[in-house]
A and B are shown apart, each in its own frame.
Chain A
Amino acid sequence: MLPVERLHLDHVLQTVSVLESVVLRSFGPEGGQMLFIRDTGQAMLSRSGTKILTALRLEHPLARMVVECVLKHSAATGDGSKTFILLLASLLRMIHTTACKVPNVSHMYNSREAAVASTARRLAKKLVAFAFEELDDIFAMGVAPYGCCLSQEDYILTAQSQTNNPCVQKLLATFFHSRLGGTHSDLFSHLTSEMLINWIVRGEHPSKSLHFIYDNLPALHTPVSGFSISCSRLIEGQVIHRDFAAPCPQSDQQPVKAVILTGFLHPEVLCAGEVLQLGCEDNGTENSSWKQSIMQYSTWAESSLECAIARLRSLGVSVILSAVKQSAAALALAAQAEICIVECISEDELFLFGHLSGVSPVTDCRMIKPDDIALLTFCRPILLGSQRYVHVAFQDLDKRLIIKPCSLIICGAGEGQTDQYVCAFRDAIRMQLSTWRPIGTAASKQTSQLSKSESLHAEDQICKSLSFQQSLMGPGCVVPAGGTFELLLHHALLQHGRSVSGKADVDRFAVSQILANALLSIPKNIYSHSSRRFLETQTRLMGFINKQKHNTNLEQNLEEGIGNQHCCREINTPSEVFMLDLGLESLSCKYQLLLAVLQCVSNLLQVDTLLHINTTSHT
């Protein structure tokens, strides 16, 4: 008989609470870093919930299931993994208390525990159904009016004056605050928004450019350890993470002409599988090699190499960016012809270079055409930390692409730190991408399919297809951070519950109560160091909501018939005040988070038994 473990709600709650206690250490403004030592002895620092949870290497199947849900969620949004756990724990707790209160009316259950479990299961199902049916409306009514919408102009506006429209920067600052702590968040949000300004193509949907940055991130940043973080900066052009193969005299001639080469300069005389026979006299005339020296083959190869170099020289090429390692002879001849060679460049970097310069790679140097030559304003060595790299800048970019390519240099005291900054940067881009995803049931259904296929690229099409539909809240909606979202939704849910309480639907009321109360745990944990701050924020927000409602009532009276199709309002309301102190977070991320947590809860509660199977491990 297999060892069977009956699962009770208590067990589930206990497991999730343990996870919660770990995550709480780095949650909110008072949270700190987690230091993770890999099995190789390498140190890694993180405040990211995903990293913390994977580092724990949990054994308990339930905990692993939770971690998997978190990973899936954060792979899609790049944010909210710590909130996921907190919300999950709080929801389970609420369900537990509610389920325990329900009187045991049925005799079908032979124990009280079974009754509790079944009630909990039913509640969880109701919660998911509730979320799918009514959450959209509640969001549109109760939360979205207090937020604002990012528009494409925000990215461009920031370019003109740094202080004019701080929305994007605020959004990033809040994200980095939760990822890197308060001390560096300003610096990083500034760098990131500047990077976005330079890369985002005018007149195109921002998510397209964001995708490009996300995909090319390895080639777009350089980590440098040993320096203070304040040395992090943006530099013009691209950094190729290789050094010149031979020290090369720099000419001031402009423009610098470069080619991308994926093959060898030195021709291969013998390909794999071919056989060269030396000195076989019996073949007579057919194979005349018997009298020839082997050196003739290398003579031929070298003269061919010389021709290739001469050809490059006649085209005026002075830089070769090679994907492979070239022979010593090729390097020496190129140096004599004053051509610099950069060897072993990774595919990603060559792709980016090709994209920015508009040329395609060449396999054989003898086939080179004038179209394959890239024009650069400069190509020079750059010393970053202990490494020397090649720094290039492109010519005539204004005409071809309407962007200013730039590279991010991330400095930190050690490798652990720079890695952390890079991860945070990548997730910030992903978070921005999901901010641009529209909210609504249609979108959420499609995205849930998406997360299965794990393709980020298809989101573009969704954005386009949905732009025709009238979605409830436009993409790019942001709300004030610091627990404001949870407090707003809490309030909206309570109101919603009150409005339906007249009907016979008791469950719906209970469900919205559970969700509303569970949400409160987030702001409580944010202000865990002083409950005074929590109460202050809550009162301030409530006062604000009441005032706002008064205004909207007046407005609605005036323009009846339009209905309550709220589009997000521009920031000219007093909500601006809130945003400026608290920062911003993406509404779309929050929406997805809520759905993901509710699904996770119902998944967890569906399980009733654990079966431990013994498999003989292969040794």
Chain B
Amino acid sequence: MKKVLSLVLALCLMLGVFAGCGKSSSGTEAVSKENFKIGLICLHDENSTYDNNFIQALKDAQKSLGLKDSQVLIKTNIPEDDQCYTAAAELAEAGCNIVFADSFGHQSYIIQAAKEFKDVQFCHATGTKAHTENLSNFHNAFAQIYNGRYLAGVAAGMKLNEMIENKKITADKAVIGYVGAFPYAEVISGLTSFYLGARSVCSSATMKVTYTGSWFDIALEREAALKLINNGCVLISQHADSEGAPKACESKDVPNVAYNISTISMGPNTALISSKINWTPYFELIVNSMLEGKAIPTDYCGTMKDGYVQLTELNEKVAAKGTKEKLAEVEEKLNSGEIKVFDTNSFTYQGKKLTTYTADVDDADDYKPETEAIENGVFAESSKRSAPYFDLKYIDGISE
């Protein structure tokens, strides 16, 4: 017993010594490349397609910027609670000039860290508060992923047309199944743009949505996909981060459109294409800003034209004839602005054209919409802040 007590006492003493150490702070202004460090905080690890997309993008940016491994610190499996704050603080204390967090729920804790470490820049993907928070070292970023979803939808619609032509299904049976994580604006905006893309080529397409209540749950996502297939869906897409849905589709021989990574290896006979946000240019942007002593944009939304939104390799084995050419044509029109995804002429809500819609853009924790989002007949997605706010449940043709 005495031994134990003395151990405990020793531990307490050690603690006292450590607690005496003070905080360190790093410099401001332009940072030299040798002294530069960036830290990435991920909700899960490489097994999640979502986190893997960030990890690979940062590694690519590291290569193109010529940074060493010791200058790029990656922390994985950081939950959306106090551990996110401590991870951010640890990275700041390890000398990181930029700390980047990848999950929406990290936001409050990153803001907490940003208030404490004023010399460190904190960037947060998918966040909503930077444009109202007035913190010079806290930034949000997203990309116009709805353009990518729309394009992927076009590929899906062409596949549906092929199935109708081959008499595999009748036109009224062109039902898309969509596995979403949560009924949240980011997901709703994504599934709506995907559906609009599909319907732009296959006018009889409809969509059924189901939610898993989790961003990453292999079993639930598989079950959700199987449920949709059993209920008559002939093509599946998803906004959840595991291999659950793609693999379920492969087992049932149902075409699948994925997100974040190419899933051709998981479903060689069913994976059609994926849309993804390419974070590499954003990482390059923020690192170069720091090296040149420039300010990082407060709320940045990357475009498809600049390479922030991409489609992965098209699986020719699965895709309908002429998909590649059609995608190139539509991509050009999206980039030029000839096609606008959320053009109110292309969809109806409860049988009527949408002429006005107030969205919750300011995220003041009141969950009250305050901003008119329809401008010149188009729902102005991601222009008032980078994170999506199209949360209309649902336009005609989509149901739960």
Partners in one complex: no
